[in-house]
């Protein structure tokens, strides 16, 4: 497989690849490389942090403790930051990279937010477990997760007063997309999800007294239907496969969606809703490697951070600061803005965020000033700007991976798009800077914002 394609595949399907790893794969066929990617994600490890302080609270049968929920929310706030850090570390360094990439995708598809970290962790591990599984089973499990039931109010969806929130978002955002269902469908589906409840430990049960056992008229059916039935019926519609594939395409391939490529994907996906199968189809398709799809997607803030990490591994001494940086750029793990998730693409970029994003590598890894052969830099060289963040950076790891590369190899290893000659000359030719400084320059051009 060509080096360029290996970088592309790993940037999109995982979180990048080191130059030495990439070089090792050149002798393999592209089928073999894709196989390897999937093989690495066959065994999935859930991500947990120590929550033993809260064990007693979440023991089964302690419904009375619900009243203390506000206290828990207050007390477990620092745990959110711990989980945020652990998650970021996992996506940068786990060998289950494809599964982590898929998990991040699903976290922005089945969007949910929970202030109780105990349930939030359960939720994200449901995403991890199903990330490459079966979409139908996945959707049913998500519907029954305590975090989702709370987030979209299925836990207060009662026979006599149905709450439409989950039913609406299920169809609009999770499965069909607007225009493929009616307001009547929403009302009927809401009835099917009545009585959804969970125990303190997060396990699901159907509250028989609140569940509506009547007939529902839903998409041509007129029968007793429960929540799982609704999801089955929705998945019978090809529009569901089409909608999900369109979101996958826009995330993994190009934000400008190519209708015929999506149709090819939907044909594969519709057969059994096997996520693994459709992703394999994408990563082996010729069009995935076409010029218009390489180095043309705007990185999400998490992508940007992980791509800096892949060049020079860093870690925040105070995890709170890492969360601050994520928020500044508009994407904090565990904190989606609303049920539609982050819109992505050009929405990440505005006058404010772009400049922060381009300045970040120098603030993280240097002194806050980007090396350049300008008058301004000459004035300021040696001063310190970026010491407000307490970050340790592993330049040794950089030297090991990038130190042996020829200078001309640096741009391809660091930036996804090809650089214009002028920009390349600015960085590579006749300048007095070290490889470390040149890498910092490469991470500070607009091209580094693309993947």
Partner 1 sequence: MKRRDFIKNSALASSFFLVPAFVKAMDLQLQLPQGFKRLVIIQLAGGNDGLNTIVPYRNDIYYRERPTIAIDRKDVLPMNDELGFHKNLAPLKKLFDAGELSVINNVGYPNPNRSHFRSTDIWHTASDSDKFLNHGWVGRYLDNYGSEPYNAIEIGNSLSLIMQGESKNGVVARDASMLHKITSDPYFEQVLQYNTDQHLSEHNMGYLYQTMIDAKQSASYIYEKSKVTRSNFDYGKSPFGKQMKTLAEFINSRLDTKVYYASLAGFDTHANQARKQDALLKDYAEGVSTLVADLKANNTFNDTLILTFSEFGRRVAQNAANGTDHGAANNVFVIGKQLKRPGLFNAAPDLTKLDKNGDLVHEIDFRSIYANIMEKWLEVRSEDLLGQAIGPVNIV
For partner 1, which is the closer residue by CB, 387 or 394?
387
Interface with partner 1 by CB under 8 A: which range of 76-84, 148-156, 212-220, 263-271?
148-156
Interface with partner 1 by CB under 8 A: which range of 17-25, 227-235, 269-277, 292-300?
292-300
Give the dihedral of Cα atoms 280, 308, 401, 292; nearest 10 deg: 40
By CB under 8 A, tell whether 444 contacts partner 1: yes
Closest CA to 193 of 230, 223, 160, 221: 230
Closest CA to 340 of 106, 101, 111, 104: 111
CA distances from 393 to 16, 21, 354, 367 (A): 18, 21, 23, 12
Question: Least distance in Å: CB of 109 to partner 1?
Answer: 14
Closest CA to 274 of 283, 285, 265, 262: 265
Interface with partner 1 by CB under 8 A: which range of 141-149, 229-237, 315-323, 370-378?
370-378
Question: Least distance in Å: CB of 426 to partner 1?
Answer: 6
Q: Which of residues 221-260 bind partner 1 (CB under 8 A)?
A: 255-256
By CB under 8 A, tell whether 114 contacts partner 1: no
Question: Least distance in Å: CB of 149 to partner 1?
Answer: 11
Select from 62, 356, 397, 405 the one that contacts partner 1 (CB under 8 A): 356
Q: What is the DSSP letter of 194?
A: T
By CB under 8 A, tell whether 436 contacts partner 1: no
By CB under 8 A, tell whether 217 contacts partner 1: no
By CB under 8 A, tell whether 63 contacts partner 1: no
Interface with partner 1 by CB under 8 A: which range of 26-34, 76-84, 215-223, 294-302?
294-302
Alpha carbons 317 and 226: distance in angstroms, whole number = 49
Q: How many chain residues interact with partner 1 (CB under 8 A)?
A: 63
Interface with partner 1 by CB under 8 A: which range of 38-46, 151-159, 239-247, 311-319?
151-159
By CB under 8 A, tell whether 214 contacts partner 1: no
Question: Least distance in Å: CB of 165 to partner 1?
Answer: 5
By CB under 8 A, tell whether 73 contacts partner 1: no
For partner 1, which is the closer residue by CB, 156 or 232?
156
3-state secondary structure 336-387: CCCCCCCCCHHHHCCHHHHHHHHHHHHHHHCCCCCCCCCHHHHHHCCCCCCC
368 sits in the region (left: phi over 0; alpha: psi -120 to 50; else beta) called left
HSE (side-chain half, CA atoms, 13 Å) at 169 = 20
DSSP string for residues in 297-337: SBPPHHHHHHHHHHHS-EEESSHHHHHHHHHHHT--TT--S
Q: What is the DSSP letter of 224?
A: E
Select from 359, 389, 395, 405 the one that contacts partner 1 (CB under 8 A): 359
By CB under 8 A, tell whether 30 contacts partner 1: no
Which three-class secondary structure state does DSSP give residue 206? strand
70 burial via Cβ count (<10 Å: 0-12, 13-18, 19+): exposed
Question: Least distance in Å: CB of 293 to partner 1?
Answer: 11
User: Which residues, including other chains, have CB under 8 Å from residue 282's CB and lie 6 or more apart?
Assistant: 248, 249, 252, 253, 265, 288
By CB under 8 A, tell whether 296 contacts partner 1: yes
Interface with partner 1 by CB under 8 A: which range of 131-139, 243-251, 260-268, 291-299?
291-299
Inter-axis angle of helices 421-428 and 435-442, to 10 degrees? 150
Alpha carbons 310 and 98: distance in angstroms, whole number = 15
By CB under 8 A, tell whether 352 contacts partner 1: yes
Alpha carbons 436 and 365: distance in angstroms, whole number = 10
Q: Which residues pair with 161 in a beta bridge?
A: 158
Q: What is the DSSP letter of 407?
A: G
Question: Least distance in Å: CB of 193 to partner 1?
Answer: 13
By CB under 8 A, tell whether 290 contacts partner 1: no
Site map for partner 1, 371-400, x if CB under 8 A?
xxxxxxx-xx--------------------
Question: Least distance in Å: CB of 343 to partner 1?
Answer: 9
Select from 40, 75, 82, 164 the one that contacts partner 1 (CB under 8 A): 164
Q: Which of residues 310-349 bind partner 1 (CB under 8 A)?
A: 328, 330, 337-340, 345-347, 349
Q: Please answer whether residues 238 and 263 qualify as being in contact, where contact means their C-beta atoms are separated by less than 8 angstroms.
A: no
Interface with partner 1 by CB under 8 A: which range of 129-137, 218-226, 240-248, 441-449?
441-449
Q: Which residues bind partner 1 (CB under 8 A)?
A: 152-153, 156-158, 160-165, 168, 172, 178, 183, 255-256, 296-298, 328, 330, 337-340, 345-347, 349-356, 358-359, 362, 369-377, 379-380, 417, 420, 422-423, 426, 441, 444-447, 449-450
């Amino acid at each position: 497989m060509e080096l360029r394609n290996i970088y592309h595949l790993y940037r999109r399907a995982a979180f990048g690849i080191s130059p030495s790893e990439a070089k090792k794969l050149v002798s393999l066929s592209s089928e073999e490389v894709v196989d390897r990617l999937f093989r690495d994600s066959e065994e999935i490890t859930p991500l947990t942090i120590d929550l033993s302080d809260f064990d007693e609270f979440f023991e089964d049968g302690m419904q009375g403790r619900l009243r203390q929920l506000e206290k828990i929310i207050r007390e477990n706030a620092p745990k959110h930051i711990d989980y945020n850090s652990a998650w970021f570390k996992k996506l940068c360094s786990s060998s289950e990279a494809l599964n982590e990439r898929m998990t991040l995708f699903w976290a922005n598809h089945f969007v949910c937010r929970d202030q109780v970290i105990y349930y939030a962790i359960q939720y994200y591990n449901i995403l991890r477990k199903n990330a490459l599984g079966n979409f139908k089973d996945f959707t049913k499990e998500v519907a029954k997760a305590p975090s989702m039931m709370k987030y979209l109010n299925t836990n207060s969806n009662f026979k006599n007063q149905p709450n439409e929130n989950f039913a609406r978002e299920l169809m609009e955002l999770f499965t069909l997309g607007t225009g493929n269902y009616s307001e009547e469908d929403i009302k009927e589906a809401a009835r099917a999800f009545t009585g959804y409840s969970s125990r303190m430990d997060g396990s699901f049960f159907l509250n028989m007294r609140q569940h509506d056992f009547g007939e529902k008229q839903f998409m041509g059916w007129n029968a007793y239907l429960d929540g799982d039935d609704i999801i089955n019926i929705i998945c019978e519609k090809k529009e569901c496969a089409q909608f999900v594939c369109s979101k996958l395409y826009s995330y993994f391939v190009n934000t400008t969606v190519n209708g015929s490529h999506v149709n090819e994907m939907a044909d594969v996906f519709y057969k059994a809703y096997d996520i693994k199968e459709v992703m394999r189809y994408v990563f082996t398709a010729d069009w995935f490697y076409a010029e218009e799809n390489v180095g043309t997607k705007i990185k999400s803030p998490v992508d940007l951070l992980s791509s800096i990490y892949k060049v020079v591994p860093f870690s925040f001494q105070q995890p709170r600061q890492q969360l601050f940086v994520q928020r500044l750029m508009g994407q904090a793990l565990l904190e989606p803005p609303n049920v539609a998730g982050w819109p992505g693409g050009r929405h990440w970029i505005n006058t404010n965020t772009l400049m922060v994003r381009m300045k970040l590598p120098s603030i993280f890894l240097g002194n806050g000033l980007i090396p350049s052969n300008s008058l301004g830099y000459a004035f300021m060289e040696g001063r310190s700007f970026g010491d407000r963040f307490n970050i340790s950076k592993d330049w040794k790891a950089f030297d090991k991976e990038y130190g042996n590369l020829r200078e001309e190899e640096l741009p391809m290893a660091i930036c996804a798009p090809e650089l214009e000659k002028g920009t390349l000359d600015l960085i590579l030719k006749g300048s007095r800077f070290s490889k470390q400084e040149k890498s910092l320059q490469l991470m500070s051009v607009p091209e580094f914002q693309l993947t």
